[in-house]
Chain A
Amino acid sequence: MPDFDMKIKEESDVIVVTTNGYLNNYGGEQVASVCLQKISEGKRKFLVNVENTAMVNSIGVSIIIEVIEELQGTGGKIAFCHTAPIVEKTFNIMGVSKYAKIYATEEDGIAELSL
């Protein structure tokens, strides 16, 4: 059984994906799949809450880069919140934080993305 699941909700036109567990290739595929589906439905604002994801790997994060790519030129945004320090450092090394803002809390992320 994969050590990963997630919940999806929509708030103030922001799709919030809350992950739970190790964000590996399976987790990355799950997050990317739901985001790409929502993009095809016209959604453009995404917030990934990783409060319950203490560890990621580069394969999982690479798959999420596909969402960043898909949002290019659409005016859309993807952001993260509640990142553990090591997850944030990984995002910084990979350059993900250049394209995806990191918020301290879900409330902060929704407030700014929904503007």
Chain B
Amino acid sequence: MTNPTVELTLPVMEDMELAATKTAEVVAKRMGLDEMKTAEISMALIEACINAFEHSKTKDNIFIHYIIEEETLVIKVGDRGIGFDSEVVAIPNIDEKINSSNKRGWGLQLMKELMDTVEFETTADGTTVTMTKTK
């Protein structure tokens, strides 16, 4: 049997990531996830959306699938951009960011710390990040 899935499509527009968090809140509540885990999912989702909006270099919509498993919420955020290699993204450090011209680059680290698992897959069609959070 296929797991229930909520699908959302977002245009690349400012603050559209908040639409993704609203859906996540509804799905998380339906699954019985607690308030903190729900907030962690929302925060990770914000970063995943921003990553897709900014780094994919595309104006195409991004898609989000919320897959409801018995104990785990699986979220897939996909774009049709040029992709990136998550393995070569440096782990950010506040001591180095201070006095650096580039203070950004925290999204991947936040996603990894806030979710149970985070995986990236880049193909010729784009990039999909798959994140999970278990109850």
Which A residues are closer than 8 A to B by beta carbons?
Answer: 2-3, 22, 24, 55-59, 61-63, 65-66, 68-69, 72, 84-86, 89-90, 93-96, 98-99
Q: How many A-B residue pairs have CB under 8 A?
A: 73
Distance to closest chain A CB from B105 (angstroms):
8
Q: Is B99 in the interface zone, CB < 8 Å from A?
A: yes
Distance to closest chain B CB from A39 (angstroms):
15
Most chain-A CB neighbours within 10 Å: which of B40, B103, B107, B109? B103
Interface size class of B (residues with CB under 8 A): 20 to 34
Q: Is B18 in the interface zone, CB < 8 Å from A?
A: yes
Q: Is B85 in the interface zone, CB < 8 Å from A?
A: no
User: Known: A89-B40, A90-B110. Contact between A96 and B94, CB under 8 A?
Assistant: yes
CA distance A32 to B72 in the complex (A): 39
Interfacial chain B residues near A86, Cβ < 8 Å: 36, 39-40, 42-43
